[in-house]
Chains A and B, each alone.
Chain A
Amino acid sequence: MAGSLNVTARLAWRNLWRNHRRTLIMLLAIGTGVWAMVFMSALMRGMTDQVLLNGLHNLPGEAQIHHPQYRADPSVVNSMPMPAGTLYEALGEAPISAWSARVRVPAVIASERESRGVTLLGVDPVTEAGVGALPDEIVEGRFLNGPEDRGLVIGASLARRLDTDLGKRVVIMSQDPENNVADRGTRIVGIYRARLEGTEDQLVYAGRNVLQEMLAVGDQVSEVAVTAGDYRRVSAWLPALQQAAGDDLEVLSWMQLQPFLDSMLGVQDGFTLIFMVVIFVALSFGLVNTLVMAVFERTREIGLQQALGVRPTLIMLQFLLESLFLLVLGLGAGNLLAWLTIKPLESGIDISMVAEGMEMMGMGTTLYPALQTSDMWMSTAIVVILGLVASLLPAWRASRLDPVRALNKT
């Protein structure tokens, strides 16, 4: 049996190269298809990653702890105490790598000439850096020195709209828990640039302690952002944290905080699969055609093999193997090509030509293709499995030929 398998495989391999032009065209077609599957899915993954990372950037940490009412009513009234006791200990457990407590209130910022509605963030620069929530780049001045820093850091776009500049004074107004307007004059000590202009307009950074003092909330904070470094593995540590936080606080993962981002990942997975299958279907016509032709051309030969006692299953296997060799070669070429084209692009593709449109979709001006091995495996599985399924019919027909008639065919 092993011997006949060996012979069959060798026959299939030789048959493949009998008509090398046809085989090469088919290889070209399969290779292009596989390349498209892998390349396009890497591009799409790259886009989703960008949207996701930008989304998570505005919502630092993979999980956040709030007062249960805070999300429905993001007011300073619904603040929470600084983590202490069991929660504080739970936040120190691995794999949690950093956490940051912040005061986050809606506010109005007024320069000499203009005023704007913004989100005022009272932060501790050191812990914010831990959760990766610092502004992307400080273009003028400096970031806050610590939670006691009395300065203000605003976005470049906001500075332009407010008609103000580094070192100028602005007034920030918000509401304290008694609903009195709390305001204070302060100096702009830094101007930052963000990936999205919307962020620059919206987020204004102040020292946490300074803001707590202005709002008269003691050491209460609005939210605690928690990170463990990988947004795909939140479920591993979230339950423990929820347990430690108790019933008085709400601990939610980014999937719950931003269901849109989560559903986008789902849509993306489904879309990648559909895309690959559709490309494969476009390919399969050519594949089936090639095999049908091969069977047709070799009718006499198949008849002879049968007359000499080769079992139908072996003939079927011969055609299936021929198809498999073709698919595997095409897969190798396609994946290699995809790898070769994606690797040089991984440092980023400049898409600033359509930057504002990208910003509408929540992306930056550079696209980073993300080659995932799972996508390569998925395309391989689709091509091999569906390819063999598509080859079944021609192979089966070949095995069912009537030897006498086949031999007589001219």
Chain B
Amino acid sequence: MNVNWRLAWRNLWRHRRRTWLTVAAMVFCNTLLIFMISLQLGTYDMMINNSLAMVTGHVQVQQKDYLENQRMRDSVPAVEALAASVASELGLDTVAARGQAFALASSEDRSFGVLLAGVQPDREPGVSSLPGLVSEGRYLAADDRDAIVIGAVLAKNLKVGLGDELTFLGSGRDGSFAAGLATVVGIVHTGMDEIDRGIAHVPLAWFQETFSMGDHGHTVVVRMPDLALVEGAMQRVAALLPEGQNLVALDWDALQPGLRQAIRSDLASGWVMYAVFIVLVAFSVLNTQLMSVLERTREFGVMLALGMGPGRLAKLVTIETFLLSLLGLLLGLLFGGLVVLWLSHAGFSYPGMEEMAAEFNMDSRFYPEVSFVALMWGPSTVFLFTMLAAIYPSLRLYKLEPVQAMRAV
């Protein structure tokens, strides 16, 4: 070990209490940052996957204008064949075709406007988690024709149960009058009223017939095994699309732009908070180092008089700060890592959070994500800023006059 380093290390422990308090400030801040950042990142993955798993999927093929206006006539021709070719191109069986239309659904007692989704009964369970949430009856089967699966709230509103019939009135793709009759075979209960109010799945073939769609549909939905694979899949799907039909491949970001923006705004507000903590800790370190420089004025004067250059003294103070910050970094990582590790098993919840979680389609317990980024991001920024805070005390050393300094009290 170099003399400078040994000297710095000893200087650090001349005021044990002060050093520990400063280290404690860093450890506290680091632990907090690790906890909050990993909680944030953990929530985002949960948010993205939960939102996409229900309906949207990771990639969709649509008519160019469909996303904005959702008009019946902005449809995808030969939608089932297209879904099949997308599936074989990607080597996935989690690809499905869908059609959508608004209709007035009437039971014996009630009428409601619903968004009817025509789905491929054998394919839909691969792209959406809804078929798995059927609580009464069953999901659509491949040989169903005029069968329908609806959400629990919709069933309650329409006052229907299994085996009851629903009539549909709407307009077909060509603007013609469309009417149909379907039997309820299953009821989906997700527990989220907003979704349970909207689900109405019918077989795609029956849907196409009722709404004069021919072989058209509105979307091909792809569910990827991993968020990271979406980008590569997008290009392969886009290359596959036939020319001249105005079809586009859209990723989840385009389909639900709110999702990424919600994440971005949450990150931004998080950053303001983190910045405050980091600045406070930097002030604390600045204060400590300034004090330790000021109280050693005499000592530094002697050292200067003995021929040690101010550069070397500045180096000494910098090494002291470095060791101090390193101690804070390591202990912070240790504590923060332990807290997060424990919480990633036990989960974390906040009183009153359950209602909020339900509103935003999230689990009521949070599981922080333990990752390199989440662990290192906060502590390394704190480290950087505490090192910056040491610049001012070090610079003061250059202004010391040996004679005056030795006389200082």
Contact = CB atoms under 8 A, between A and B. Distances in A.
Asked if A pairs with B, the answer is yes
A160 B69 contact: yes
Contact of A33 (B109, B159, B266, B280): B280
Q: How large is the interface on A (under 10, 10 to 19, 20 to 34, 35 or more residues)?
A: 35 or more
Interface stretch (B13-21, B120-128, B340-348): B13-21
B352 A263 contact: yes
Nearest to A363: B265
Interface stretch (A144-152, A174-182, A228-236, A241-249): A174-182
Interface in A77-109: 106-108
Contact of B171 (A73, A75, A114, A296): A114
B331 to A, nearest CB: 14
Contacts of A259: 355
B261 interface: yes
B24 interface: yes
B110 A357 contact: no
A279 B276 contact: yes
Interface of A: 19, 21-22, 25-26, 28-29, 32-33, 36, 40, 43, 72-75, 106-108, 110, 112-118, 160-161, 163, 173-175, 179, 181, 259-260, 263-264, 266-267, 270, 275, 278-279, 281-283, 285-286, 288-290, 292-293, 296-297, 351, 353-361
Given A114-B72, A356-B257, A285 B28 contact: yes
Given A21-B294, A160-B69, A263-B352, A290 B171 contact: no
A19 B409 CA distance: 13
Nearest to A278: B32
B264 interface: yes
A26 B264 contact: no
B227 interface: no
B259 A360 contact: yes
Interface of B: 15, 17-18, 21-22, 24-25, 28-29, 32, 68-73, 101-104, 106, 108-115, 156-157, 159, 169-171, 175, 257-266, 268-269, 272-273, 276-277, 279-281, 283-284, 286-288, 290-291, 294-295, 350-353, 355-356, 358-360
B112 A106 contact: yes
B258 A289 contact: no
B68 to A, nearest CB: 8
B71 A286 contact: no
A359 B262 CA distance: 8
Nearest to B276: A36
A134 to B, nearest CB: 24
A301 B168 CA distance: 92
B178 to A, nearest CB: 9
B171 A115 contact: yes
Given A289-B288, A293-B291, A360-B258, A114 B356 contact: no
Given A163-B71, A260-B356, A360-B262, 6 more contacts: A40-B272, A110-B171, A114-B72, A279-B277, A282-B25, A282-B281
Nearest to A282: B280
Given A113-B171, A355-B261, A357-B265, A282 B71 contact: no
14 contacts: A22-B287, A28-B283, A32-B276, A113-B71, A179-B111, A259-B355, A282-B25, A282-B277, A289-B25, A289-B284, A293-B18, A354-B265, A357-B260, A360-B262
A187 B119 CA distance: 35
Nearest to B157: A73
Contacts of B110: 75, 175, 179
Contact of A361 (B112, B288, B360): B360
Contacts of B70: 161
Interface centre among B109, B261, B268 (most CB of A within 10 A): B261
B22 A115 contact: no
Contacts of A33: 276, 280
Contact of B283 (A40, A117, A286, A361): A286
Contacts of A278: 32, 277
Contacts of B281: 282
Contacts of B103: 108, 115
